[in-house]
């Protein structure tokens, strides 16, 4: 029996916070569960904007019950104002994951691009195109923030997200099932490879 890992990806931002939820099977196939963008008005005070972002993420957590949360890791840019807003939204996502008892991880944009496209400097269109292909979507996910959130979720699952333990150090039942399924799949692949070597196939 196959067990999927459900990952919530968050592309943090104050004006637009991308949200994407995917189910990823041990064979790396993935399906779309939810995608959207939480928006806050630039005219609102910062505390209200953060509350809006928190409410949007909280509603997705309640509706889709992910096993793990993946958030883009904030890195230094020339635009300090933009970095500050991104860092604040990132902190909200990580805090909510902790409040819900869900393990969380962060990934840099280059890690995500490399995992999705094979190229760490891929542009947004390339990421959108590959996300649509992986999830078998009829159209590119829009806006780019939503595509980035889905890419984060896929990246985390593909980079060994099943082995990520909660703060307490123990794996959740879903993570244990994923780990065991991956072990069985790896063992089966090794048996096939050894058979090929013996037969010269």
| pLDDT computed for residue 188 by the predictor | 47
Q: What DSSP string runs through 117-140? A: HS-TT--HHHHHHHHHHHTT-SS-
Residue 148 annotated in active site = no
The two structure tokens encoding residue 120 = 């760490």
| Whole-angstrom distance, CA of residue 148 vs CA of residue 116 | 10
Q: Using alpha carbons only, give the angle 64, 21, 27 rounded to the nearest 5 degrees.
A: 110
| Whole-angstrom distance, CA of residue 139 vs CA of residue 134 | 12
Each residue of 119-164: pLDDT tens digit?
888 998 999 999 999 999 999 998 999 999 999 999 999 987 643 4
Write down the mean pLDDT value for the chain.
83
Percent of the residues in the chain that have a pLDDT greater than 70, as a whole number: 75
| pLDDT computed for residue 81 by the predictor | 67
119: how many CB neighbours lie within 10 A of its CB? 13
Residue 11 annotated in active site = yes
Task: Find the helix or strand (DSSP H, E) in which 180 lies.
Answer: helix 173-199
pLDDT bin (cut points 50, 70, 90) of residue 2 is low
Which residues on neighbouring strands pair with residue 104, listed in sequence order? Answer: 69
Write down the catalytic residue from 145, 148, 180, 182.
145
Write down the catalytic residue from 11, 44, 148, 180.
11
Residue 118 Rama label (left phi>0; alpha psi -120 to 50; beta): left
Is 80 exceeded by the pLDDT of residue 170? no
HSE of 196, CA atoms in CB hemisphere, 13 A: 7
| Whole-angstrom distance, CA of residue 38 vs CA of residue 18 | 6
Rg (CA), the chain: 18
| pLDDT computed for residue 139 by the predictor | 94
146: how many CB neighbours lie within 10 A of its CB? 24
Is 80 exceeded by the pLDDT of residue 24? yes
| pLDDT computed for residue 161 by the predictor | 60
pLDDT bin (cut points 50, 70, 90) of residue 185 is very low
| Whole-angstrom distance, CA of residue 52 vs CA of residue 33 | 22
Is 70 exceeded by the pLDDT of residue 165? no
Write down the catalytic residue from 23, 44, 65, 72.
72
Task: Find the helix or strand (DSSP H, E) in which 21 lies.
Answer: strand 16-24
Each residue of 115-125: pLDDT tens digit?
999 888 899 89
Each residue of 49-90: pLDDT tens digit?
999 999 999 999 999 999 999 999 987 555 666 788 899 999
Residue 27 annotated in active site = no
| Whole-angstrom distance, CA of residue 124 vs CA of residue 132 | 12
């Amino acid at each position: 029996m196959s067990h999927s890992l459900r990952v919530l990806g968050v592309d943090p931002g104050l004006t637009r916070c991308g949200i994407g939820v995917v189910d990823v099977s041990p064979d790396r196939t993935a399906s779309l569960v939810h995608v959207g963008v939480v928006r806050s008005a630039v005219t609102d005070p910062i505390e209200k904007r953060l509350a809006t972002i928190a409410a949007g993420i909280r509603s997705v957590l309640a509706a889709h019950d992910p096993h793990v949360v993946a958030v883009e890791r904030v890195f230094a840019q020339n635009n300090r104002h933009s970095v500050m807003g991104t860092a604040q939204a990132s902190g909200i996502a990580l805090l909510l994951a902790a409040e819900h008892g869900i393990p969380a991880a962060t990934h840099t944009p280059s890690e995500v691009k490399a995992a999705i496209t094979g190229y760490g400097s891929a542009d947004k269109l390339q990421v959108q195109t590959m996300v649509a292909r992986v999830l078998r979507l009829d159209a590119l996910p829009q806006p780019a923030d939503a595509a980035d959130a889905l890419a984060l979720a896929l990246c985390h699952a593909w980079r060994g997200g099943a082995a990520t333990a909660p703060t307490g150090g123990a794996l959740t039942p879903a993570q244990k099932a994923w780990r065991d399924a991956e072990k069985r799949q790896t063992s089966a692949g090794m048996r096939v490879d050894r058979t090929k070597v013996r037969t010269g196939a």
